[in-house]
Amino acid sequence: MDKLEFRQATAEHSGLDDGSVDLITVAQALHWFEIAKFFAEARRVLRTRGVLAFWCYARNRVNSDCDPIISRMFAEVEQFWPPERAIVESNYRDIEMPFEELAAPSFDMSVLWTADDMLGYFRTWSASQRYMREHQADPVATIESDLRLAWGPQRREVRWPLALRLGRK
C-alpha cells in the first residue's frame, strides 16, 4: 500500500509524471471529458505498452415483461438527455481509439432489484432531473404503475451490457 497515492485532478490535466502509469481506466465518464485533451494526457502519462480502458453501460434489461416499459421510460425523457449521451448510446464506438486497439471481452454488470429500486434509478438520470425542472412533474410517474405490475413484489436481475474498449500505447 505504500506505493498507492490518491490525487484529485481533471482528466485532461492529471499532474502525473510523463510515462508513469501502467493503466488508465474510465468508467461511464468519457463522454463528459474533453476527449482529445484527455487522450493527449493519456498518451503523455502512460508508459510504453500501458493500457487505456474505457467503458460505458448500455440500456438495462430485465425481462420481456419489463423491458418494453423500461423502453417507454427512455422515450419519455429522451429529448432531455445532454448531447454527450449520444456517445454512450453508440457504446463509445464513435470515438477513435488513439492507441493500438485490443480485443475486449463481452460482459454485463447485474444487480438484484425491486421495482422501487428501478424506479429510484430512473429518477437519478440527468434526463429525468432535467425533465422535472422543466415540467415540474416526475416523468417516472408515467410508467410507475405499469412497471410495478409487470415487476411484481420480488427482486429481479437487472443487467447492463458493458461496452469496453482497450488500447495499448
Q: Which domain CATH number covers 131?
A: 3.40.50.150
8 Å CB contact between 95 and 30: yes
Residue 12 lies in a domain: no
The pLDDT, as a whole number, for residue 120 is 98
β pairing state of 156-168 and 46-57: antiparallel
Half-sphere exposure (Cβ direction) of 95: Cα atoms closer than 13 Å? 31
Residue 80 lies in a domain: yes
Number of independent structural domains in the chain:
1
Residue 126 lies in a domain: yes
Residue 9 lies in a domain: no
Q: What is the CA radius of gyration of the chain?
A: 19
* Cross-strand bridge partners of residue 54: 26, 165
Per-residue confidence of the chain (169 residues) as pLDDT tens digits? Answer: 677 778 889 999 999 999 999 999 999 999 999 999 999 999 999 999 999 999 999 899 999 999 999 999 999 999 999 888 889 989 999 999 999 999 999 999 999 999 999 999 999 999 999 999 999 999 999 999 999 999 999 999 999 999 999 999 9
Torsion of CA 109, 39, 52, 167, to 10 degrees: 100
Distant-in-sequence contacts of 101-108, Cβ < 8 A, 24+ apart: 101/165, 101/166, 101/167, 102/51, 102/166, 102/167, 102/168, 103/166, 104/164, 104/165, 104/166, 105/164, 106/161, 106/162, 107/162, 107/164, 108/159, 108/160, 108/161, 108/162
Residue 11 lies in a domain: no
Residue 129 lies in a domain: yes
Residue 8 lies in a domain: no
8 Å CB contact between 50 and 167: no
Structural domain for 139, as ranges:
21-168
Residue 132 lies in a domain: yes
| pTM of the predicted protein model | 0.83
